[in-house]
Structure 1
Amino acid sequence: MKSGEELHQELRQRILALSGVTERPNAGIHEDAFFVQGKMFMHIHGHGHCDIRLAKADQERILAEGKAHPHRWAPEQGYVTFMARDEKDLAPAMELIQLSHDHFADDRRS
């Protein structure tokens, strides 16, 4: 079983492997913020607390399916929260992150 730090590093590496992604550590209140096309599409607090910004239709569907929780402070901006606590959470986290990435990588949207 991976430690929280190992899990965090693996998640970061998977996110950074997505096309066009850049990272800005300590971007405002976010410990690790990830950008595509100059837009922040997700950030991580601590180890595994992922706040992921989705298109509104995707946000509504993901919440209705119970795949993530409403973001505490900015749900109106399309954010959801997903907790990646162990290795089995990496694949579902990346599904949501990929969905966000694909939305924001298309600069005709957002």
Structure 2
Amino acid sequence: MDGTGQAGQLSAGDPGRSRHRRPAPGPGPALREAEERAGALQVGVDTVEFLGHRDGVIEYGLSLRRDIVRAMRRHRPEVVVTGAFSVRMVGGIASQADHRAVGPAARDAERDAGNR
């Protein structure tokens, strides 16, 4: 390995969105993308690609898998890491629905990416 890495993000996190309050004013996703890229550099990841999905409403399906497959084929990763996709996280906290959708989609897309 040459000491570089790539990361794919399905969304920029759309800060300030919740069912309890309106979106926060300000730079929003652009700021989150800059923060993610800066943090990634700290751990040797020089490329972060955001796939443009809206945080909080990502659903498992063919279109999500297709987007992940395309990114995997572009970057050709040796290792794929995704968040946990169980119903409960550490400490028993309920996982978010979009997070639970991304894990299986990434796993399935990894297989799909090799089926050319």
Q: TM-score, normalised by structure 2?
A: 0.30
Structure with the higher strand share, 1 or 2: 1
Q: TM-score, normalised by structure 1?
A: 0.31
